[in-house]
A and B are shown apart, each in its own frame.
Chain A
């Protein structure tokens, strides 16, 4: 889960890292008041969950509160990469002597968080690492089992070529960032730029935080009490479609089994009612590689009820442009073949569709398959067992829909 800049600032502030006296505003009048309170020159920054704000005109400078108000009014209406801002952040224009980068990320291979520091802040760290590797220090946490000690942060900053008072002042900041990364279950915690002001003090001018979704239940205090985030605020990288929202609602209404549905990026005529995790990936590839055009992506797992399987199939069938559905899974050992068969047939009947014509292929081998195949026989649905590969089943579905078109 990605945080807005104003939330990320609050998170670093809470960890004891100095930030400027900023104001988060949702109206132009508030922005003017914030600029008056701050005094002097200010920066107005769009609060969107996407990069490229500067280029899109989402970051502006104001000399007076009136100017801040005018900029805020425009920025609040400015869409950036398809996102409307949630508000603006009004920040004092700081007197910066130098910009640094401080970050903590996961290193999956080492299975350990990695600290990064650079004295070339304000630009993408990947770019610095490529062009000026000697200006990037990096080092893993000493241990995942204890609160990060300061010395490793000091080593990382020193490895970036930083010494003197800058080193001793930046060390507690990187240490605090590593601690909050661990305490708050972040997958990414960046301060960029971390600025050294003309008086020598360090301050976080921008922050980017992402939290692991799996940790949200135990981070409720931070999310809801401190940041006031609505638990329903999913923050997907795009707006969920009607299909996606409906599938989610069906899944939540019944605890038996798990279903998921996506149609972002799909617009074909063959509806997919497929599973489980790896099986769905394999089958989607198999359909596309053989010229099929999937209308969606789904995952079925954990032995859903008849009504859940039926609900999913109905949502797929109701999608615009869907002519037939393919019901396919890798060999199942927990999900029951007969229950899925019943569900998809029920969906066809309830929508006045002939199951034998609507279901292009049914390929789910495994638990309770004999019972399932009997039901499918009765409705004239073409099915196959494990002797027919996932690839071949997908081919048959594609062939049928192309024949129908």
Chain B
């Protein structure tokens, strides 16, 4: 079982003729059951093909070619054109938009989020690697080439959400090595404002029968962890959560006001620090571990305690 994706899920790649997008398309076509990438869009490149996927000038043409609604889109266009590409996808009925592009000003993200709310669509990212349902489908560069993704990800009961794309794979690989597979792993993006936060994705995992526990990767900066802690408390979640917090060194006095890793990790106020976040998460009953290799045992312990 899974959230957001399933084996018949259809999607397009906007900006498909870019170098990174060509690789990503190959990877997704090769992985699991083979993603149903029904079209690609790059303005001015209609008539081409990328690994057998037909390219169109507009999303409208792609939908017309497919002859039915398209479920999702991976956005890989440059930052200055991202907002327009996302609006275009949403306007043409696409319900899941994964934004890979980095360095998008947050006002643009906020506008995209509002547009998506109006037309009942969901955004993952920006600055993310997408999501994966092990052995079934991946949407985005998550896990890399199919052969590498197969080494790290395996099917199972753990939902993974991470602000770091690379750490989504590191954590899933650690779980896999310990015999714990993943229901769905989502790279949610490293920016200060993102389309879907932990708390906004929790209801999906909560409703998924295949998910029995959650693992999250978090960093200093922002209030996303506080929001998750509130959600868990208010909704009496059935899912045990294990969190790993990176960047504890940023709490040091000499690191104040500096950003490391991702755009979203800047310590501006007291409640942004790693220590504050850990306290909040623990206050909501979330187990916070210090090491990645402690995650599998913590998950097993929590699953055991629940039964």
Contacts and interface: CB of A to CB of B under 8 A. Distances in A.
Interface string A174-193: 00000000100101000000
B257 A237 contact: yes
Contact of A214 (B79, B145, B248): B79
Contacts, number: 159
Given A106-B192, A109-B227, A331 B166 contact: yes
B162 to A, nearest CB: 7
Contact of A282 (B141, B167, B258): B167
Interface residues of A, number: 51
A367 interface: yes
Contacts of A264: 254, 258
Interface string A187-225: 100000000000000000000000010110110000000
- Which of B105, B111, B174, B177 has the most chain A CB within a 10 Å cutoff? B105
A387 B193 contact: no
A215 B260 contact: no
B246 A214 contact: no
A214 B105 contact: yes
A241 interface: no
B152 A331 contact: yes
A275 B163 CA distance: 15
Interface string B247-270: 111101011011011110100000
A286 interface: yes
Prevailing SS type, chain A contact patch: mixed
A108 B249 CA distance: 23
A367 B145 contact: yes
Contacts of B224: 108-109
Nearest to A186: B107
A275 B190 CA distance: 15
B170 A277 contact: no
B217 A278 contact: yes
A277 B189 CA distance: 11
Interface in A364-405: 366-367, 386-387, 389-392
Contacts of A390: 170, 292-293
B143 interface: yes
A182 B105 CA distance: 11
A82 interface: no
Interface string A265-276: 100000000011
Nearest to A275: B166
B123 to A, nearest CB: 10
Nearest to A106: B106
B109 interface: yes
A144 interface: yes
A123 interface: no
Contacts of A285: 246-249, 290
Q: Which A-B residue pairs are the 9 nearest by beta carbons?
A: A333-B144, A278-B164, A265-B254, A278-B167, A281-B246, A389-B293, A281-B247, A215-B105, A277-B261
22 contacts: A108-B222, A108-B224, A111-B113, A112-B110, A143-B114, A144-B113, A212-B107, A214-B106, A237-B258, A276-B166, A278-B163, A278-B170, A278-B262, A280-B261, A281-B265, A285-B246, A299-B260, A333-B148, A367-B145, A386-B152, A386-B177, A389-B291
